[in-house]
Amino acid sequence: MGRISVSVLLLVSLGFRAGCCAYSAMQVDDSSESSERSLLNTENCGKRYYDSEFPVDSRLFEHPWLARFGYKKDETVNYVFQGLLINSRYVLTTVFVTQFKDMGLLAYVRIGEHNSSTVIDCEQQTPGEEKCAPAVQDILVDAIIIHPDYDSFRQVNDVALVRLRSSANADGDSVIPICLNRDVDLQSTFLLIASWCGRRDTGLSTVPKQYMMKTISPHECTALLPRHTVSLANGMFCIVFDEKHTQPTAPALEPNLRGGSGAPIYTVHEGNRIFLIGLLSYGPRYPAKLHEPYVITPIAPFYSWLLDTMERDFEQQAYITAD
């Protein structure tokens, strides 16, 4: 399946790779565990602001790890696509997002965004009580690190790290890193996706949409995408919308993942915490039929690469600074 370009006015329905797993504790040596804690903040990551429910229109503080990417052309910056804050200096996304040039060069990462139509995001939490989030953080991109075995033709190893020029300020509500699933054998029937996605006629959504998804078998996936060669290397898998979203009462309510490249596939585990399972990588071209699948890149097979890459990068930056 070919990679699909996206523009502001004509966003293409992109597919995702989602993981179908929840978190499981694993035995690691002390040095590895210490490195994990310092780089991935495993004790505080993924904490949900809400106790239950997952409405389609997400609420303030629902996705404090969700980032947007700013592409600069001349003096104009357009924010599209998604990534996940996994460390105060690193955002995880797909390679396509980092190489997209239709709107200019990737220059900024926006952290702490919820409603893209407002400067300061506020919502009524309880009757008579309104809560507001701090202003978004627009941080310059310092470097892009693409997985060394990324294959653009087969679209495998589709993961990239974006290093921020300065650290994101994690405030505990509007900005928090997401937890990463590391168990390749985990299975979960509770999967969701979050994205500022939308229809061609209405553009991107102003707040992130979140939809329940379900996995399908490789055979089903290939049958539903007969015009594409689907590669499911490294645990890649296919997802479709859950039945609750496939019978909309009006065309305007029909789910659409246009503009969702790099969106997270996630689950809830360990005391109401969010764990990243995979990234939306690719899928059917627009207009995508409601039951067509999206291909997901799981995170677990790349867990060690992410940790090792951040460690090496930190060491190199410290050496450069000291020099």
Q: Quick one: which of 275, 272, 261, 255 has its CA closest to 213?
A: 255
Which amino acid belongs to residue 172? G
Q: Does a structural domain hold residue 14?
A: no
Q: Does a structural domain hold residue 31?
A: no
Compute the distance between CA of residue 91 and CA of residue 83 in angstroms, rounded to an integer.
6
CB neighbours of 131 closer than 8 A, spacing ≥ 6? 60, 122, 123, 124, 125
Specify the number of domains making up the chain: 1
| Per-residue confidence (pLDDT) for residue 20, from 0 to 100 | 32
- Whichever domain contains 295, its CATH number is 2.40.10.10
Q: Does a structural domain hold residue 136?
A: yes
Q: Does a structural domain hold residue 43?
A: no
Q: Does a structural domain hold residue 244?
A: yes
Q: Does a structural domain hold residue 9?
A: no
Compute the distance between CA of residue 305 and CA of residue 147 in angstroms, rounded to an integer.
8
| Per-residue confidence (pLDDT) for residue 27, from 0 to 100 | 36
Q: Which two tokens stand for residue 39?
A: 């780089």
| Per-residue confidence (pLDDT) for residue 322, from 0 to 100 | 62
Domain residues for the domain of 92 are 51-322
Compute the distance between CA of residue 127 and CA of residue 100 in angstroms, rounded to an integer.
43
| Per-residue confidence (pLDDT) for residue 19, from 0 to 100 | 31
Q: What is the DSSP pairing of strand 273-282 with strand 179-180?
A: parallel
- Tens digit of pLDDT for each residue in 145-189? 999 999 998 889 999 999 999 999 999 999 999 999 999 887 788
List, for the chain, all residue ranges whose pLDDT scores fall below the cut of 70. Answer: 1-37, 200-202, 252, 321-323
- Tens digit of pLDDT for each residue in 114-129? 999 999 999 988 888 8
Q: Does a structural domain hold residue 8?
A: no
Compute the distance between CA of residue 258 and CA of residue 260 in angstroms, rounded to an integer.
5
Q: Does a structural domain hold residue 61?
A: yes
